[in-house]
Amino acid sequence: MVQELKAAKIFGGWNRRYKHKSDVLGCDMTFTVFYPPACESSPVPVLYFLSGLTCTDENVTTKSGIQRKAAEEGIAIIAPDTSPRGLKIEGDSDSWDFGEGAGFYLNATQPKWKQYRMYDYIIKELPSILKQFKELNIAEASITGHSMGGHGALTIGLKHPDLFKSISAFSPISNPISVPWGQKAFSGYLGDDKESWRQYDATELVKGYKGPSRKILIDVGTKDDFLENQLKPDVLAKAAPGTPVSVDLRLQDGYDHSYFFISTFIDDHVSHAAKALKSS
């Protein structure tokens, strides 16, 4: 059962926040949907936005202004939470980059963290819930995200080109097996078998990608404190030539890792999704 928690009108459409019991994660989860005005006349395609470390579903919907361009393009925005919450697993709140708020959009294999299955939640459970909303055409979907959520958008989009018509990302963790954030998360959730980590690494997925051609839009700020040590989008871009994937990596001068940066370029990412959704 899905419960509406609150609603607010914005740019002629509506933000609606919901809560439901997740069978996949074993806890209550929240997500927010922005319904553009166009959905009043017919079902509209959707763009998933996956948020980053420490975030909830409300960060993008309250800070980015994503609704303005989405209303113009007639696209709904789906903003899920970033991890299970309230499971009371020992240590799940000890650090900001692991546990609650840091699900990394994977399916954990370590017994302690077995309920951390954000990958299945995003590609299976959440879409099954969204099917009940007649305003949404979830068969027509694109995906984007920021930081850890950019990692999620890249990996999920590359693994499921049948489900997502386009992929983009802000400041994504692009090669997590080689950076501290990824190594901490993968060793904790997946264990020591580093071969199993590759299935959740966008750079490794690009190297082996065999699906339809994809042009991935990536924006990163040149003043992003995490650019060199955690994100490594250049490594991803270098892996693309010779594959069906092309990477439009845009280094935005002077911008950082914050929602000031995201809000500046969010319209381009909505347009990127809209072009793919409207041509399908």
272 noted as active-site residue: no
pTM: 0.98
Tell me which amino acid residue 177 is: I
- Catalytic position from the list 142, 171, 224, 269: 224
The alpha carbons of the chain give a radius of gyration, in whole angstroms, of 17
> Other CB atoms closer than 10 Å to residue 191's CB: what's the count?
15
28 noted as active-site residue: no
At residue 25, the pLDDT reads 98
At residue 14, the pLDDT reads 98
224 noted as active-site residue: yes
8 A C-beta contact, residue 218 and residue 233: yes
Distance between CA atoms of residues 36 and 72, nearest Å: 8
Read off the tokens for 20: 């439901």
Q: Which of 138, 102, 130 is nearest to 118 (CA)?
A: 102
8 A C-beta contact, residue 178 and residue 84: no
What 3-state class would DSSP assign to 3? strand
At residue 280, the pLDDT reads 66
- Catalytic position from the list 51, 147, 166, 171: 147
Fill in the DSSP letter of residue 174: -
8 A C-beta contact, residue 18 and residue 2: yes
Q: What are the CA-CA distances from residue 98 to residues 51, 53, 74, 104, 240 (Å)?
A: 14, 8, 36, 9, 29
- Catalytic position from the list 81, 142, 146, 257: 257
Fill in the DSSP letter of residue 36: -
Query: Please, what are the averages of pLDDT over each run of 10 residues along the chain (280 residues)?
Result: 97 98 98 98 98 98 98 98 96 97 98 98 98 97 98 98 98 98 98 96 97 97 98 98 98 98 98 92
Read off the tokens for 242: 């010779």
At residue 166, the pLDDT reads 98
8 A C-beta contact, residue 191 and residue 239: no
Read off the tokens for 144: 């984007």
At residue 242, the pLDDT reads 97
Q: Which of 167, 171, 105, 169 is nearest to 142 (CA)?
A: 167
